[in-house]
Chain A
């Protein structure tokens, strides 16, 4: 199998904003539940920041979904 070397080309999209709005949760509330700042939630939703694996797991648990359902890995 061919292996690809990708440097900073891969992207991770997420459905965080969509899921949060579906459930009628404010950014502040989600931030408090995740023990992060509201800015972090904003940056995650805008795709400017990728979460640590721990935060990804916490978010998945909070929304009762798997990580792959929230975060979508896109290979370049």
Chain B
């Protein structure tokens, strides 16, 4: 990984930190003025903030010449780890789709059409994204 790529990653993660902070603040403000999903927004923001901050600290260490941090980053992009990640993601998607189809069946039987339609839209959207990605990669390779 080049220094330029590392810096790009640094800026991307700084953006995540800012986004996380903005979500935390939004959550706090909304909690003060209304009840509802505000704490969930704070929770999501905290997660994004924490991941972004950890990455920023790691990349800063690497840019300062920390060899251990560089080795850890390399291990993260190690081809076997990438393969494991891809396989796990692929299996997760398959399981989620299967679970979604079962949930759809049950929800339509129970006449919970609003939730069922939402899930069906998400599933259809995922399939469209998959087809687009498949088309792009089949053109590329």
Contacts and interface: CB of A to CB of B under 8 A. Distances in A.
Interface of A: 32, 35-37, 39-40, 43, 49, 51-52, 54-55
Interface in B73-108: 74-75, 78-81, 83
B4 to A, nearest CB: 18
Looking at chain B's contact residues, is the secondary structure mostly helix, strand, loop, or mixed? helix
Interface of B: 71, 74-75, 78-81, 83
B82 to A, nearest CB: 10
Which 10 residue pairs are nearest across A and B when measured between Cβ atoms?
A37-B75, A40-B80, A37-B78, A36-B78, A35-B74, A52-B79, A49-B80, A40-B78, A43-B80, A55-B79
Contacts, number: 25
A43 B81 CA distance: 11
25 contacts: A32-B71, A35-B74, A35-B78, A36-B74, A36-B75, A36-B78, A36-B79, A36-B80, A37-B74, A37-B75, A37-B78, A37-B80, A37-B81, A39-B80, A40-B78, A40-B79, A40-B80, A40-B81, A43-B80, A49-B80, A49-B83, A51-B79, A52-B79, A54-B79, A55-B79
B78 to A, nearest CB: 5
Nearest to A41: B80
Contacts of A39: 80
A40 B83 CA distance: 11
A27 to B, nearest CB: 13
A43 B80 CA distance: 9
Contacts of B78: 35-37, 40
Contacts of B81: 37, 40
Contacts of A37: 74-75, 78, 80-81
Contacts of A55: 79
Contacts of B74: 35-37
Contacts of A49: 80, 83
Nearest to B74: A35
